[in-house]
Each structure stands twice: as C-alpha cells, then as structure tokens.
Structure 1
Amino acid sequence: MAGRLSDGVYAGIDARLAEADARVVAAYPGEPIGRQPVHTVYVPASQYRARMVADWGKQAVRVFLEDGDLLGLDDEVSDRVREKLLTEPIEDLRIDFEDGYGNPGDDVEDAAAVAAGRTLAVTGGTPFVGIRFKSFEQATRRRGIRTLDLFLSGVLESGPLPGGFVVTLPKVTAVEQVEACAEVLEKLEAAYGLTAHALKFEVQIETSQSILATDGTIAVARIIQAAAGRCTGLHYGTYDYSAGVGISAAYQSMEHRAADFAKQFMQVAAAGTGVRLSDGSTNKIPVGDRDAIGVAWSEQTRLVRRSLENGFYQGWDLHPHQLPSRFAATYAFFREGFPAASARLRDYAAKTENGVMDEPATAQALAAYLTRGLDCGALDEAEVLKLSTLDRPALDRLVRRIE
C-alpha cells in the first residue's frame, strides 16, 4: 500500500530533527549501568579511622540484637538485616570535611586530608566511598579544593583510586560553581595521571539557588548539564534547604511540603539523564533508652519507606544505630513487592493476558525494582528467577530497554 508523501518529505523531517535527535541522545542516556547504594553514611573526617566501618557494624548489630523486635520485622527480613549488618553495614561512605568537620585551621585540615586519604587507601571496606569538601563559594573555595587535592595525594601514594569513588560538592549557589568543580576534577586527573573522567561528583541540593537560579531559570537542570558528564547524583540536604527557605527548626523534615517541592524538581530534571537521586536524613538519632530508640526507628522507617515509594532509593545516615532501621525499611519494601512485580514481568515477557496490560516503560520500572532489591541484598537471584522466569542479564536488558 502506497502513501502519498514522497521520500523527500521523510528525509526533510529527518534532517530538520537531526540536531534535536543528537541533543536528546546526549542529554538522556537512560539508567546508568551499575548499583546504586541505598544510603550514604556521613562521618566527620576527625572521626574517620581504619576500623570505623567495622566499629559501625558492631554497634549496629548490638543494638539490633538488643532492640530489633521494636522494628516489627518478619523472620525473613530480620535474618537478612542481621546478615547485612554483619557483612556490609555501610554501602557508601562519605568522609566529611564540611559541616560535620568545621574549620580547625589550615594546618590541621591539611594533615587530616592526607591522613584520611592514606587510611582509605589501606583499608577500603565499602563498595562506594569519597569525601565531601567545602563548597565553591568564595569564602571556602580554596580550602575545599586544597583538601580534595591533598586527600587524593594521600590515596594515590599508596595505590590506585578505589572503586566506587565519588566526591560531593555542597551548597551550590550558582551553576558556575558546578562548572568550576568539573574543571578542577579535570585538572586533578591530569596532575595525578588519572584517566579522563575518573573523578565524578555528586551535587548536594541544599540551597534555593540550586533549584531556581537568580534569572528565573531552573537551576537544577542546568547543574546536570554544567557538570559535563561528571555528575552521578543529586543529594537533597534536608536541614540546610529547609532553613534557607524559612522553615523553622521544629518543622524541618524530609516530608515537609517545601522538601517535596525541591525533590520533585530534582526528579524531573534528573529523569533519563543517568543522574541518580538521594533523599536527605533525619536528625532523630536512635540512642538512649528502649523507648527513645523505638521512637527514632519508627520515624526513620516511615521516612525511608516514603522516600522509596516516591522514587528516591538512597538517603543519608549519620549514626550506627540508624543502620538497622535503614535496612529494615528498605528490605521490607522490596520483599513485600517482589512477588507481584515478578508476576507482572513474567506475564509481560510471555505476553500473557491478565488483568493488567503493562507498557514497556512499566516493564522497565518493574525490572529496575527487582535489580535494586538484588543489589542491596533484599532479594536473591534464585527466588526472582523462579517467580519472574527472568535471570539477572534479562532484567538488566529490560532496565536499559535493550530488546
């Protein structure tokens, strides 16, 4: 059957949209390959030491064994949380030279930066790791760059750059600071003989200017572009952002409407770009008597679950006692939903008719859900294969929409 449009019309439209096609492909590469940690643990550089990860794990296991019944977990989730705390209590560690560290003086920070780098080089211990240096605002810019430089010297004098290495740029108040950070990382790669784009960074979204720029444009979308392919994540900063937009201390929370407003902008800006999202933290720490621990765990469990349901699969933890509730909430989320998600994927792959007709984009989301559960230890490949009939490579292809 012949249509009435000539080949010239088709060719003309292709030519007209060629530039736009290239721009879309470059800006929206889709879901990146590899695991995303479920949390980032922030530890002041002054507290970082060789046995820190092991010590956090011991503290987390101890409180879980003593008070874990307060979390109300079934046996399956409880066993998995205990195993996680014993084997991999921290997925992503950020050695903090910013708010958690303060300003002890240049000589002290110089020495601490080199020492922390050396310690990391010989201990490792987490799948992802990096530092948060001081912001690129005028007052702290030189100090932040010097700390990063000295930290890298400490790491690289003892061996290669650790796997999963990423640094964190805080308190962005102008998109140009992101451009400058990308430039600094490029120069550090040259100075230390690293491969191009070996150094990646995350941007903390904790100022109003990182959502809306002074000229009225959407800053968070421009931030991703300004990073020149080096930005791997956007991390919401609960308390700095809330304070900056005038929320009083008693009402600063990950679930405040102002927080949701910012995070929805982050979500739309990052969608399809390969830049992943992290929610913030709660400052209610599970310490004290059993009742106090229960209250804090209950709040964190609720907030982590809320973040997961809203598409934020990562958050911050600030204390060892927050690890049991982090993994409890995360594991329960994936285990509760995986039978239904597996069944829908099985029917999608077999083109079976049932009460739900899933689109390819939904199949992609279902596969991503299962792979996240596998990555963090909430699920096992054997049980997912049994229910979905799809092995891990098949799930990964669905996530990246490779036919």
Structure 2
Amino acid sequence: MAQQETVTTSLASAVAEDIAARLAPVDADLARRYPGDPGTRQPVHTVYVPADAFAADTVRSWGDQALAALDEHAPDAATLAAVLGLPGELAGPVHERVRAKLEREPVEDLRIDFEDGYGPRPDAEEDAHAARAARLVHAAYADGTAAPYMGIRMKCLEEAVRDRGIRTLDVFLSGLMEAGGLPDGLVLTLPKVTYPEQIEAMVRLAEAFETARGLTPGRLGFEIQIETSQSILAADGTATVARMIHAAGGRATGLHYGTFDYSACVGVSAAYQSSDHPAADHAKAVMQVAAAGTGVRVCDGSTNVLPVGPTPQVHDAWRLHYGLTRRALARAYHQGWDMHPAQLPTRYAAVYAFYREGLEAAAARLVAYVARAGGDVLDEPATARALSGYLLRGLDCGAVDDDEVTRLTGLGRADLEALGGVPPRADRPANTP
C-alpha cells in the first residue's frame, strides 16, 4: 500500500493572486500578438502572372502546359525518378499524383502582377487591366475554375508609384464588390516594404475600403513582400519584419521572400542569386522567427532557371527546382514561387515525395503518442502538433489521402486538427491562405 504523502505549503494565496494581476497584461499581449496558426490551408506555391497576360483560362492553360512538359520530358514514372533521384517505391505514386494534380488543380495560389512583372504603363491601361482582373477573378470563382487563392500584387507604397498602387488596389477591389463581393480566397500582396509605417498605411487603406463598402472590419488581409535589407534589419538594429507584423494589427497573412531583389540589395552578384544563398538563409530565418506563433506564414522565393529547351536542359532545371523545393520544405518553408508552367511538375513532385516518404513514420509516432506507447522516440505535445500539421499539409495538397492517414493512424481529419491545435472551423479567418 502506497504511503500517504503529507502536503505542505508556505505561500499565501494572495501571492498567486498578485502574480496573476501583474501578468494579466502580458497574458493579454501574448494572446493578441501570438494567436497561433489560423488552421486554414496554406498553398504550396504562388504563381505570378503579369496583369496584361492574365486571362480567363490562365489556370487551365498552366496545367495543360505543365502536362505537356511532363509528357515530353518525363512521360513515365521511371524517367521522372531517374531525373530527380526518387526512390523506386515513390516513383509510381508521385508520378501518378503529379499528373492527377495538374489535371485537377494545377495552381493553388495565383497572383496577378501589377509590379515588376508588369512594369509602368499609362494610367488608362493599368486601370483597364485592374478592372479586367476583377471581372475575370469573380467569373472564375463563380464558374469553379479559380485557383483556391487568387489576388493581385499591387505596386508598392514608395513615393514614385504610391498613387498608382493605391488606385490599382481600389479599382480591383471595387470591381470585385460591384461583381458580387470579395471571394473567400482573395489574397493581396504589398511588395518592397522597408518601414513599418508603410504597413500602417496599408492598414489605413484596408480600413478605408472596408468603411466605404460596409465590410466587416478586418475583412481585408495582405501579404508583406520582403525584398530589401531594411525590411530585415532596421537602422537601430532591430528586426524590422517583426515590427511590420505587429504594425499590421492582425491583417498580415504572409511574408514572401523576394529572392532577386533582396539578393541585389545586399550585393550578391547575379550569378549567385539563389534561394539557398547564405544571405537568403539569413533573411528567411529572421522572417521565420519573427512570424512564429503570429499566424503569419513564411513563403520562400523562386528560381529564375526555367525548364525550357531540349530535354537535357529541362532535366537540369528540374533537378535544381526540385532540390531547392525539398530544401525549403525541410526548413519549414511550405510555400514558394513558381514562375513558369513547366516548374509545376517538379513543385508537386518535391512536395509529394516529401510528404509520402515520411507518412508511415509520422503516423507511427502519432499513434504512439496518442496511445502513450512510448517506443524509441519520446514525443511531447509540441511534437504531436508538428506531426499532425505534417499530415494535414499532406492531405491539403493531395500528397496523401484521407483513407491512407486513417488506416495508418486510426484518426480522422477532425482528430488531427484537434491534436494540432487547429481552431474550430467557425473561428478561422476565411480569407487567410
């Protein structure tokens, strides 16, 4: 029979009450600034299309071009596996799922670009393109041909292009409202941010539009594009990007790393500008830590080596893109940019291989955690959240199926969301990618 322990204390209850009162402001600040991940789907990539090139069939056209590239340069699983170094057991499932994805949902997030990919235009021309973009986006959501997430990248808020950027945003959003309202998948991107005051100005724009159109306060969120050294480190030595996130007042949805603008800003020679350069790693590490717990997601940049030309040249570009994507995933950058339709096969091949190769191990660790069975790895609640998040991301992008996960874990999606600390669906922001 176990011995009854005597429990004694020395502190009066007033001590705990005093500490609770002292820390109440901290508790409130933590809850406000660090609400955690919103629990919504994060796209695996963002596709950029110049506004003048965007058309009603852009999403389907990208899928068809990607399928054509796959059929020409890797028509079967063995060829794709040889090019990318896929293990034999993954080759068939990855190739099959990539094809199915390109047929079903080739683009997960599309940004109609009014900035670098579009350039300066006469005002009347940009007005017309912004109005057309709104009309086509509305039609795509109405007829079911839209990507899950769509929106625009406006010009930045620097003095030279500020008025033009504000007007384009207004024309686009007003066009959507006139057509029937803002779609749930709407995403806006603010490029070349250097000071938190520019984020405050973007918040002011969002508030003004919501007021003018009678929208719910907070309806408009936006991504912050990190393309300058000043957006990482301020003149006083503080991390500017952290101040930007909090200056957004809960409206920031993502931080997108701009590979080439940032590289040029810190003096990296053109031949060495890449998302795996040490300067890029430093910037993204700062972004990652600044965003952790805030609900703001970090997106990697792009490669400008396009898979075009003869097959050996395409294979070289594919290997580079595949390797950079896998590297980013291992570093918890779950999203990146794609600039050409022929990059889609390797985007999805990398993502699918990443989630499929770890499926059984992640499932086994989660089962052991739920059963408290132990095993050779002792996991904590934080790791269980990470394991659940890994499986949910794999489900969202199509790398794995619900029945596979349930068979391996005995858990359904709702169970995974509960283990992962995902908010109830009614509490999730609809317009957050």
TM-score bin, normalised by smaller chain: over 0.9
Residue 23 of structure 1 aligns with an amino acid whose one-letter code is D
Shift of 1:71: 2.9
Amino acid at match of 2:139: V
SS at match of 1:166: strand
Q: Does 1:71 align with 2:80?
A: yes
1:176 equivalent in alignment to 2:171: no
Scaled by the length of structure 1, what TM-score is found?
0.98
Alignment of 1:16 with 2:22, yes or no, is yes
8 Å CA contact retained: 2:37, 2:422 = no
- 2 CA distance for matches of 1:363 and 1:248? 42
User: Which stretch has the larger CA shift, 230-239 or 65-74?
Assistant: 65-74
Q: Are residues 1:290 and 2:311 paired?
A: yes
The residue that corresponds to 1:40 in the other structure is: 46
More moved, 257-266 vs 207-216: 207-216
TM-score, L = length of structure 2: 0.91
Match of 1:25 among 25, 31, 34: 31
- Over 3 Å counting, the alpha-carbon distance change for 1:186 and 1:401 in structure 2 is closer
Aligned residue for 1:167, secondary structure, equals strand
* 1:116 corresponding residue in structure 2: 133
Q: SS at the partner of 1:94? A: strand
**Given the alignment of the two structures, is residue 89 of structure 1 paired with residue 106 of structure 2, yes or no?**
yes
Letter of the 2:287 counterpart: M
Q: What's the CA shift for 1:223? A: 0.6
Maintained 8 Å contact 1:71/1:325: no
Larger mean CA deviation between 67-76 and 111-120 belongs to: 67-76
Cα drift, residue 339 of structure 1: 0.5
Q: 1:381 & 1:309 partners in 2: Cα distance?
A: 23
Q: Which residue of 1 aligns with 2:431?
A: none
Q: Deviations over 1:65-99 (max 9, x none)?
A: 22125431511111111000001000000000000
Q: Aligned letter for 1:336? A: E
SS at match of 2:179: coil
Secondary structure at the counterpart of residue 331 of structure 1: helix
The whole-number CA distance in structure 2 between the counterparts of 1:122 and 1:195 is 23
Alignment of 1:110-189 (within 5 A): 110-124=127-141, 125-189=146-210
Q: CA deviation at 1:285?
A: 0.6
Q: How does 1:3-402 map to 2 (within 5 A)?
A: 3-68=9-74, 69=76, 70-72=79-81, 74-124=91-141, 125-400=146-421
Q: 2: CA distance between counterparts of 1:163 and 1:7?
A: 49
Quote the offset at 1:393 in angstroms: 0.5
After superposition, what is the alpha-carbon deviation per residue over 1:47-67, rounded to whole angstroms, capped at 9, x for unaligned? 001111111111011111221
Contact 1:254/1:279, CA 8 A, preserved across alignment: yes
Q: Distance in 2 between matches of 1:250 and 1:64?
A: 28
Kindly report structure 1 stretches of 4+ aligned residues shifted beyond 6 Å: none
Identity %: 56
Contact 1:48 1:116 in 2 (8 A): yes
Aligned residue for 2:52, secondary structure, equals helix
Closer, same or farther: CA 325–401 of 1 in aligned 2, 3 Å: closer
Aligned length: 403
Q: How much has 1:401 moved relative to structure 2?
A: 6.9
**8 Å contact kept, 1:40–1:94:** yes
Which secondary structure does the structure 1 equivalent of 2:186 belong to?
Answer: coil
Deviations 1:82-126 (A, max 9, x none): 000001000000000000000011111111111111111112311
Distance across 2 between alignment mates of 1:119 and 1:127: 14
Report the Cα distance in structure 1 between the residues aligned to 2:410 and 2:52, rounded to whole angstroms. 49
- How much has 1:2 moved relative to structure 2? 2.4
Could you say what secondary structure the match of 2:263 adopts? helix
Residues 242 and 258 of structure 1 are in contact (CA less than 8 Å); yes or no, is this contact kept in structure 2?
A: yes
AA partner of residue 300 (structure 2): D
SS where residue 269 of structure 1 aligns?
helix
Give the letter for the 2:32 counterpart: A
Cα 1:88–1:249 shift into 2, 3 Å: same
| CA root-mean-square deviation | 1.2
Letter in 1 for 2:116: D
Q: Point out where structure 2 has 5 or more consecutive residues left out of the alignment.
A: 1-6, 424-433
In 2, distance between residues paired with 1:370 and 1:77? 16
**Aligned counterparts of 1:156 and 1:65: Cα–Cα separation in 2:** 41
Shift of 1:23: 0.7
Paired amino acid for 2:296? V
Q: Which has the higher contact order (CA 8 A, sep 6+)?
A: 2
Distance in 2 of aligned mates of 1:170 and 1:71: 36
